[in-house]
Amino acid sequence: MEVHGLSERRACRLADLDRSTFQYEKCDGGDEKLRQRLRELAGERRRFGYRRLGILLDREGLSANHKKIYRIYAEEGLAVKRRRGRKRATGTRSPMLLPEQANERWSLDFVSDALSDGRRFRTLCVVDDFTREALAVVVDVSLSGVRVARELSRLIAQRGAPKMIVSDNGTELTSHAILRWVRKAGIEWHYIAPGKPTQNAFVESFNGRLRDECLNEHLFDSLGDARRIIEAWRIDYNTVRPHTSLGGLSPVTYERRLRRRRPGSLEPRGSSTPRALTTPSTTERKANRLSE
């Protein structure tokens, strides 16, 4: 019609198209309210299919043909995902911000090693993500979810509760014991995405230091021997060992200096931390040389 200047009647006859089909315009059925409520119900009832959701909509007075509900259900991508493997805990999945003070966020993970006789043991590592302080390195042959909850309760009694705890999706950390403890303690628990250890970088970095500087440097004759040596290394890590991320200070020294600067609080590193408390990082020194 546009190119050859034909009438609608003749163009439809040449195209073998019914004029009523050509003239049809889709009517707005006013589905926005239905669509919005369907999304809300699907979020609340994650294991309900479109038929059950349709029944709930009907109870609320939003009656619709099951074919319409299915069409909207499919357009919104609300299909129930098939479960694979065992049940996983439902922690937060939103992006995390860097902590701005001590005791704001803890991260934890496990490291395995062996005694000199070949028996395996595990360590539970808990790190403060702001000060880099190793809060605990618990050593035992078995560390269940109940034991992890007990150790976290002990740390909270000593230091106070953090706002958030970060971990991977290990079986101990997604157990019913941990879920009950989180609900009772009222602490936000963030599970990193499966197969993404970089999302738990602070404790992963600590694990590397622990293995390189302690576990690989000693032979442990017994579990008591391992606990003594590892605890002595943890104290040295917190009080003596210089950390380049803290300007060459140890975690304990860094925290004390910030508290002395502003009593009762810790300032975040980066913008407001006084330059006198830190030394230039490797990146800063390279940038300075390039600018010169």
Residue-wise pLDDT for 24-62, tens only, equals: 887 666 688 899 999 999 888 887 889 989 988 988 988
pLDDT grade, residue 249 (50/70/90)?
A: confident
Average pLDDT of the residues in 240-262: 85
Residue 194 has what pLDDT? 83
Average pLDDT over residues 88-106: 68
61-89: average pLDDT: 80
Residues 130-142 pLDDT 10s? 999 999 999 999 9
Beta strands 105-114 and 188-191: pairing type?
unpaired
Residue 237: HSE in the Cβ half-sphere, 13 Å Cα cutoff:
26
Mean pLDDT of 193-199: 85
pTM value?
Answer: 0.60
Q: Which tokens in the block code for residue 17?
A: 């198209």
Residue of 46, 67, 44, 43 whose CA lies nearest to 54: 67
